[in-house]
Amino acid sequence: MKLSAETNIMLNAEAIKKELSVPCDINILESTTSTIDYVKANRKNINSTPYVCLAEQQTAGKGRPGKIWHSPSGCNIYLSCLWNFNNDLSKLSGFSIVVGFAAYKALSNYAIDTKNLKIKWPNDIYFNQKKLAGILVDIVKATNNSTQVIISMGLNVNMISDNPEWSSMAEILNAKQDRNQIIALFLKELFDYLEKFNQHGFTPFLDEWPKHDYLFGKEISLMHGTKIITGIACGIDNQGNLLLRHPDGDIATYAAGEVTSHIA
């Protein structure tokens, strides 16, 4: 799968879809503010899911709250997928983590060394302590028996950056990579994981977390609402909530929050 340094393959919907067993609509944009914004603005006109939006460039890519995802043209993956669950919102505990598992599985299938590949709660992907991919999940519609979500991923593929906190697949594999192949791998794993989650919930996936947990045993700071909470990361509970041991020894659970700092 390695490409020469001169290769620059554009995104191609047909090349991606021919690798998938699940039919889906794929829309490729030359440029947009963010794929999340595009799907949110157009979701009422989307008649079936899964629907996948890709962009060659984002002018205002979204990261964690208050952060921008650097999105240069033609070199990375900027993806948002609209998905309908046949379950209500109360049954989506752990869903965000499952999306991270799908990304991890796709990257490991693409010959990324899993010894250095980890998931930072709830679902960001790190390689050798540097961020490789960021994942966001937005719930856009919920009723008594269905939930519609937008799953978004930014994956650094062919970007070469001097930022010491970022990594890319080109840097890891020492060659440019075909984004279409990577997208197809990710979507295959994503659709498979989402179907299993829809049928069985989070419980069957619990055993996967300890093998991938980037934060376990680290001293971290968690931005929870307006408060910064410090402690030692102790894994997750059976709902996918972060377990954090406070300085007084008590362990508390957190369903949401941004890890603002950690000791590698």
76 and 155 Cβ atoms separated by less than 8 Å: yes
- pLDDT per position as a tens digit, 72-117: 778 999 999 999 988 778 888 999 999 999 999 999 999 888 899 9
- pLDDT per position as a tens digit, 191-209: 999 999 999 999 999 999 9
Q: What pLDDT was estimated at residue 59?
A: 87
Among residues of the chain, what percentage have pLDDT more than 70? 93
- Under the banding of pLDDT at 50, 70 and 90, the label for residue 3 is very low
CATH of domain 2-210: 3.30.930.10
Tell me what the mean pLDDT of segment 122-149 comes to: 91
Handedness of CA 87, 89, 93, 94 (dihedral sign): positive
> For the chain, what are the domain ranges?
2-210, 215-262
CATH topology of domain 215-262: SH3 type barrels. (2.30.30)
* Number of residues written out for the chain: 264
* Separation between Cα atoms, residue 262 and residue 135, nearest integer Å: 19
- pLDDT per position as a tens digit, 25-73: 999 999 999 999 999 999 988 888 899 999 999 987 776 666 666 777 7
Q: What pLDDT was estimated at residue 160?
A: 83
